Structure 1
């Protein structure tokens, strides 16, 4: 802020004072969503990459970047500070100058701009690993379900086999008569004894 004011004072004779005032007023009264856009531009990180780092879809994040919906960004500000460690918290939250921790308000990309890119690359790798991990968990659950189904099928097959054996072992009286010719016409037991009583 001091640097901006110094610049304005030194060059106020060359610049129209109203332009200087408008610049100062705009920079001081930037809305939160405007500060997010400004960070994206000056630090060289596209908005969609910031959205991915925050775990939000780029389209949803972009919808928040207006005056009515910017309230949704507040909960993500700590992660934005984490992503851009050279940005002052006071500037991001309230617009208090200067923007950068080194005291500058330059719109040039920061020397730390490469670090967020590296962090985003790592974040992309972590997101990919989490997706693969979730897929592996689903496959493991499917495998466990298949094994459980296999065990049930084997148990049902064994039960079916046992029932078939028990049914074949049970013989009804009418089936006995068909199998035994002596009982085909008589109700007498097949004892092997003759009718003469000997």
Structure 2
């Protein structure tokens, strides 16, 4: 199920623009154009993140943020045209996870949404003592930091998230590089070799990443 974003913005055209960009990047969305409509929108479907305009009819964004923070850790990105430093600081002190100033690029908003969602995800415990912390791009095995590069981290995360599933090289390339660059098959093999070497330094008698001849790789513990 796609991650769900609640867009709270009284300017309809801006809200619809954000909706279109976010949905084109695989998110589902809901819109609220009035501060008093936020509670009902959250109750209708619990969002994974809220884009919250500062200036709203009814309740202001700061009031909404303060109310939500009383009993929820819902990630919140404040959106504001008021650039005074006090407003930025107040928004963050009330519990906002980030803020964006108008005018903004919709692409920037999508990037910020992805970043905040990634930070809000708890570490993944993949079995056999492997813990993947995406906020820090850190992989630990049996308590030992594997010192992976960002590409190696994404590759291991893809494999470990679905133990036993066989991924072909094209699928692994897609997880490593978001820009659809052309990468030789041997690049995947090289990264796998490096990850295996780092894991073997911790568990010399275990092999967690298995090659499947002529197909690809899988993670099993």
- Classify the TM-score, shorter chain: under 0.3
Q: TM-score under structure 2 normalisation?
A: 0.20
Q: TM-score, normalised by structure 1?
A: 0.22
